[in-house]
Structure 1
Amino acid sequence: MNEDAPFWDKIAAKYAKDAIRDEAAYRQALSRTASYLKPEDRVLELGCGTGSTAIELAPQVAEITASDLSQEMLGIGRERAKAAAVDNIRFHHGSVAQAPEGAFDVVLAHNLLHLLPDLNAALAVVASRLPKGGLFISKTPCLGEARGSAKYYLFKTMIPVMRFFGKAPGSAVHFFDISSLDDAVEAAGFAVVETGSYPVSTPGRYIVARRL
């Protein structure tokens, strides 16, 4: 199992209580995602955390498989889904490489790709779970867009310190820029059909891509 699982297990309860950092950006990305979903869709969400996004989107699709490597996060997600009377979410424990087999109609990965050890391997997994024409929808912080600024160097300095004190996951946090992320998605066999930045300041690169 991924080495970061203990970190996410440890912070799950606090993570569940924390307010969304940028509610407007979250809602904007959620709205765009919802616009692509159909009632008959089978959806896979990678890195579902405590299930908030899956619960929001579940009424619009046939089924969501919400996958995460943290058992504690999934436990909270199950409780939340039950409290919300949402019964079409199937929670799955595992890393991205251990994601359930497809084919799914849509794969989601929000605020996940920059935390994975191998972006190209992860995108290959996504492609393998989708048929031709299936959609991949993601949102990824692109910290590399701040390169050269004080904010960039602050991130670069603080993340290793936070990791040392157990305040950040053990694996590397990637500083993607927008063009390299877009290029990686296309190289994995997708055609990008929509992009956006939510929020704009430190871009949360939103991508909708169709499997070729």
Structure 2
Amino acid sequence: MAETYDDWYKTPKGRLVDKIEKEVIYEFLKPQPGMKILDIGCGTGNLSLELAKLGAEVTGVDISEAMLVKAREKAAKENLCISFCRADANNLPFEDETFDAVVSLSALEFASDLKKTLLEIYRVLKPGGRMVIGLIGGGSAWSMYYEEKAKKDSESVFRHAHFRTLDELIAAMPGENVQGKAVLFVPPDFNFENVEEALALEEKAQRQGRTDGGFICAVSYKPLPKRKELD
């Protein structure tokens, strides 16, 4: 998929979906210049490049070397210093407490044991840091769309996906002060040329507090060590 992966973001649907998903990612991540961020399942570097442009020190990992080749090419073209390496999220090649923040955008649907994978990701997070995880939402119009595609195409990557609900994602998150939010209520068969109509639909659903969005996102924090009280 590496050769054609970025074509999605050039379509009206891809642009708007990316915008909606990124808004909640940034709301929770709050990237700052100098922040050391790990991007899990970085693909061709879409999010990694954006974070680097904001001044973050970014490391991107993915299980696909073909995706990483594209990511490195894009970073070099834009003269961005990003470290991309091939790694499995279940066995990260980093020391404990290495990163200020860890983010993953639509990658961990393919984790068979989400809680176990999140614990490994949490391991490399510094105390005081935050972990932001975004997934395709289970029970949504979008997960049903991908499930239908998987039924029709034996080669579809979504045959290996596990679609969790927002409650399930929140329950799997290690750490403290876990918060979650569902977005992307515009259905996949919508005419994405109608941007204003799509955003109005999105705003109304979010205002109603719905949790069955096509994209779910959660954040948790790694607590700082408690100070020992003086005798």
Identical aligned pairs, as a percentage?
A: 23
How many angstroms does 1:160 deviate by? 4.0
Q: Hey, what does 2:19 align to over in structure 1?
A: 27
Counterpart of 2:182 (choices 179, 193, 197) is 197
| Long gaps (5+) in structure 2 | 187-212, 224-231
1:53-202 aligned at under 5 Å gives the runs 53-87=47-81, 89-101=82-94, 102-145=97-140, 155-162=146-153, 164=154, 166-168=155-157, 172-185=160-173, 188-193=174-179, 195-201=180-186, 202=213
For the Cα contact (< 8 Å) 2:9–2:18, is it kept in 1?
no
Among candidates 3, 16, 19, match of residue 6 of structure 2: 16
For normalisation by structure 2, the TM-score amounts to: 0.73
- Mapped to 2, the partners of 1:155 and 1:13 lie a distance apart of 21
Deviations 1:71-98 (A, max 9, x none): 11000000101111112x1001111123
SS at match of 2:126: coil
Helix, strand or coil: the match of 1:53? helix
Distance 1:139 1:191 in 2: 17
Q: CA separation of 1:71/1:12 partners in 2, compared to 1, >3 Å: closer, same or farther?
A: same
Cα deviation, 1:25-49, whole Å, max 9, x if unaligned, reads 4224434544611212111000000
Report the count of equivalent residues.
191
Gap change, CA 1:91 and 1:117, over 3 Å in 2? same
Q: Output the CA distance in 1 between the equivalents of 2:162 and 2:4.
A: 24
Matches within 5 A, 1:37-48: 37-48=31-42
RMSD: 2.3
Q: Distance in 2 between matches of 1:177 and 1:211?
A: 23
Match of 1:3 in 2: none
- 8 Å Cα contact 1:114-1:141 kept in structure 2: yes
- Greater radius of gyration (CA): 2
Q: Which amino acid aligns with 1:38?
A: Q
* Deviation at residue 169 of structure 1 after TM alignment: 5.3
Whole-Å separation in 2 of the counterparts to 1:108 and 1:26: 15
Contact 1:42/1:64 (8 A) holds in 2: yes
Provide the C-alpha distance between the structure 1 equivalents of 2:20 and 2:163, rounded to a whole number of angstroms.
Answer: 23
SS, match of residue 217 in structure 2: strand
Using structure 1 for the length normalisation, give the TM-score: 0.79
Write the letter of the residue equivalent to 1:43: I
Aligned with 2:4: secondary structure? helix
